[in-house]
Chains A and B, each alone.
Chain A
Amino acid sequence: MGFSLEGVGLTHANGFRALHDVDLRVAAGERVALVGASGAGKTTLLRVLAAALRPDGGQVSLLGMEPWTGSPAALRRLRARIGLVHQAPPIPPRQRVVTAVLAGRLGQWPLWKSLASLLYPLDPEGARHELARLDLGERLYERCDRLSGGQLQRVALARVLYQQPDLLLADEPVSAMDPALSELTVALLNEEAIRRGVTLVASLHAVDLALRHFPRVIGVKDGMILFDMPASQVREAQLRELYAAEGGVPMAGVAAAADVAAPPPLRCI
């Protein structure tokens, strides 16, 4: 299980070469952070892992399956087992929180159940459970356009938690949250991956968050993998090379997290 990429390359429709010859093996249950400057190819890599983008070269194997050689039905079944947290939460503003979270299981539910749940939510308890872990349990029946950017990002996270995927992917899942909340949310993602024994890959803008929470860190630069090593072995010089174009290594800052007077309690049930 887990996944493997061999010699994967991808050129976007506009001619931009986003990935060059990427080799990557991640075993089941591993937790990996992707770091790198913006535009380095992290999002493209995550979308290839989500079977949402088809690379134009190389071998992709996800959860023991080759997504682009099987039937469309098999691809759908595979996608239902992969959860991706998008950078900008792709949730219609007028949708209610409960519907947005329950949408996580659309890949597993038969059509009649999906449609019925639109009229009367069929599993509000399940949705509330995941929302409560992110401290949003009380907003279950509110409309998403009433939420702040950070709250909406947590709704998107709750959707993926509710999906219960075997491969959990997250593209900058905490970009709209303050440092304290970011810390707690990244911790929650890791805890979920450990508890269910699933693979977790998250791209993070703040390098210190990645180093603190993930055993394995991969640096991505110009569509290639610059380094791939245990977090404890990542050195200052490597980070400086990774972010050479941005003129500084971005940090969330632990001090800032401690400064926040009362971090909102994350209830773990």
Chain B
Amino acid sequence: MMAEVRRDPAALSRLGWALVALVLLWPLLRLADFQPGVLLDEGNLRAMGHFIGGFLPMETSHDFLTLLGKAMVETLAMATAGIALSLLLAVPLGLAMTRALSISRIGPGRQAWIGTLVRALVRVLLAVLRGIPELVWALLFVRVFGLGATAGVLALGITYGGMLGKVYGEILESTDGRAARGLLEAGSGRIAALLYGLLPQAGGELVSYTVYRWECAVRASVVMGFVGAGGLGQLMDQSMKMLNGGEAASILVSFLILVLAADGLSEFLRRRLA
């Protein structure tokens, strides 16, 4: 009756995965130049200690605070303008991606392949727009438009246009398309089918996602300044380069206030919408 106990069937694969992980970890550590020792290097410690030590007292002179306030408003304006710009890209591209709004698919029509091709191209375009990080766009635009918020707004508009367009398309795809199809089959146009067939169901989700993206845009605008594209980040970059701890601390605190306020506002808006 005593059957031999089977060996653990998972043991071999576990051992294999552990070995793979170990073998991979070594080159990873080398590639990332992983040397915790440098944190304790005397020169680094002194530089860091000096900088952190300068955090207190925080810089609170009237001139600096005025500058800071202006930079905070500029950051918020960049995020808002960026999202507004991105909508110009996202709405038409998102709609073009939506199969539920395709007239040529009904039947299917004679030249349905054209619609399919257009949708595929739009998909690729959106992938390129959002595949390049907003900071890279900003770095490029700074070269064209010079230092300042314009580059940041355009960069946000392009990247977020790509993200919003894709998600709009996905949301519209996943809503029940029967109402829209019924309208299209009855001969209505695409815009009418959107307004009467899809938006009543998907509207809340679309707005809620846009608000969430606005919150992300505030976070993104905060750091745009590191490549010279305006906002709080530009002040931060200058203070850091001059190792001015007191200014850096004030800016860090206003960072936190801004981000937390955007968090709170976005959560409030989304709760209202839900």
What is A's interface to B at a CB cutoff of 8 Å? 96, 98, 119-121, 124-125, 128, 137, 140-141, 267, 269
Collect the chain B residues with CB atoms within 8 Å of residue A128's CB.
5
Collect the chain B residues with CB atoms within 8 Å of residue A137's CB.
3
The interface centre, meaning the residue of A141, A267, A269 with most chain B CB atoms within 10 A of its CB, is A141
Asked whether, in the complex, the Cβ of A269 is within 8 Å of the Cβ of B8, the reply is no
The secondary structure that dominates the B interface is loop
Asked whether, in the complex, the Cβ of B3 is within 8 Å of the Cβ of A120, the reply is no
Asked whether, in the complex, the Cβ of A119 is within 8 Å of the Cβ of B9, the reply is no
Asked whether, in the complex, the Cβ of B1 is within 8 Å of the Cβ of A120, the reply is no
B115-173: which have CB < 8 Å to A? none
B1-17: CB near A (< 8 Å → 1, else 0) gives 11101101111001000
User: Nearest B residue to A119 by beta-carbon distance?
Assistant: B14
Collect the chain A residues with CB atoms within 8 Å of residue B9's CB.
141
What is B's interface to A at a CB cutoff of 8 Å? 1-3, 5-6, 8-11, 14
Collect the chain B residues with CB atoms within 8 Å of residue A124's CB.
5-6, 8
Chain A-chain B contacts (Cβ-Cβ < 8 Å), number: 22
Q: Beyond A137-B3, A141-B10, A267-B1: 9 further Cβ-contacts under 8 Å? A: A121-B8, A124-B6, A124-B8, A125-B5, A128-B5, A140-B5, A140-B6, A141-B6, A141-B8
Asked whether, in the complex, the Cβ of A269 is within 8 Å of the Cβ of B2, the reply is yes
Q: Closest CB of chain B to A9's CB: distance in Å?
A: 46
Collect the chain A residues with CB atoms within 8 Å of residue B11's CB.
120
Give 8 CB contacts A-B under 8 Å. A96-B10, A119-B14, A120-B11, A140-B5, A140-B6, A141-B8, A141-B9, A141-B10
Asked whether, in the complex, the Cβ of A120 is within 8 Å of the Cβ of B5, the reply is no
Asked whether, in the complex, the Cβ of B5 is within 8 Å of the Cβ of A269, the reply is no
A120 partner, pick from B2, B6, B8, beta carbons under 8 A: B8
CA distance A96 to B9 in the complex (A): 12
